Structure 1
Amino acid sequence: MSKPKQADISALIESLISSGVEFIVVGGAAAVLHGAPTATVDLDIVHRQTSDNVNRLMNVLTSLDTIYRDPAGRHIVPTKDDLMGKGQLNLSTDLGPLDPLCRLHDGRGFDELIPHSVVLSDSGKSIRVLDLDTLIEIKDSTKRPRDKLVVSLLVALRERDL
């Protein structure tokens, strides 16, 4: 059975929160949560890399029958060691694409990003999201064309809120 190509971001976040996973939403989903008129197909998170937190995240991944998005179609299951690494995991879950980033492309992990995050509340749930200034900085530094488009939207949001 194939996995959804579009993430159910609300359901993924709910699964992570209800399991006690410590994480920060980054990437396109962070832009959406800040109110940018854009769309994303996956949920990018940076998770705290402690043994207990990785165990909680692994439980969520297992419950969602998670595998790597593999162009060759192989059935590769993520491991705790993968989640304790330094790279980005491109995963497919029963709720759509979820990409745990152990570290951002600039090397910053959860502990370095916590001071650059904000807590947003929605329907009684608190979600930690990369703050707007840091999100702009990160998106701008990737030099990817799609990120450049989002940067202009995020800058407009920031200027509106000043």
Structure 2
Amino acid sequence: MSSIQNNIWDLIEALTANKVEFVVCGGVACFLHGVDRATFDLDISISISSDNINKVIDTAKLLGLKPRIPEPIENLLDPVKRELWVKDKGALVYTLIVPESIIQLDIFLTYPKSFEELLRNAVIMRIKGTDVAVSSREDLIYAKSKVQPPRKKDQDDIAELKRIIDNE
């Protein structure tokens, strides 16, 4: 069994310890910005350099994470395969599951903003003694507004993020 078990924070810590370049997005980012919501997946946008993808692969193997689909994690290194997953399968993320847990890691294959822009706009937050890049509220609102078809949880997150911004 993976050493992270049911703890998303330990997953963030492992990615950071292995020097993976990533930005936390999705529900975890909303939670970190003060939205009261639960989530069991960690959504991240990553630098798609080969070096960084290899760090993701190494971290996943170290933690015992398994691909949800029958595509080896090493296929993340192939830009043609990544594009085919998006175009032919409609995939938005490559999902790694934590065995014997409800936790999963979703790596964005496509996102409304580039990794570089997300990183530039990110808020650096201290989590368990580690500095972590977290998508800005504005980028979260933008990305969630692009989800098609619109989902209630995304609309709720947008409303709550806007309320938090307005109350500052």
- RMSD of Structure 2 on Structure 1 (CA): 2.3
Structure 1 residue aligned with 2:74, among 65, 74, 79? 79
1:97 pairs with 104, 128, 134, which one?
A: 104
Shift of 1:92: 0.3
Listed as ranges, the matches of 1:127-142 within 5 Å are 127-142=132-147
Equivalent position of 2:47 in the other structure:
48
Q: For structure 1, which segment, 76-85 or 6-15, has the greater mean C-alpha deviation from structure 2 after superposition?
A: 76-85
Separation in structure 1 between the aligned mates of residue 11 and residue 76 of structure 2, nearest angstrom: 22
- Partner amino acid, structure 1, of 2:30: A
Q: 8 Å contact 1:58–1:80 — kept in the other structure?
A: no
CA 1:69–1:157: 2 relative to 1, 3 Å: same
* Distance in 1 of aligned mates of 2:78 and 2:131: 23
Shift of the alpha carbon at 1:90?
Answer: 1.7
Percent identity at matched positions?
29
Counterpart-to-counterpart distance in 1, 2:94 and 2:6: 15
Instruction: Verify the 8 A CA contact 2:30 2:161 in the aligned structure 1.
Output: yes
Tell me the residue number matched to 1:147: 154
**SS of residue matched to 1:14:** helix
Q: Structure 2: 5+ residue runs without aligned partners?
A: 84-91
TM-score, L = length of structure 1: 0.82
List gaps (5 residues or longer) in structure 1: none
Divergent runs of 4+, >4 A: none
State the one-letter code of the partner of 1:144.
R
Paired letter, 1:67: K
Tell me the TM-score normalized by structure 2. 0.80
Residues 27-69 of structure 1, C-alpha deviations (whole Å, 9 max, x = no match): 0010011111111110000011111111111001111222222
Q: Relative to structure 2, which stretch is displaced further, 81-90 or 31-40?
A: 81-90
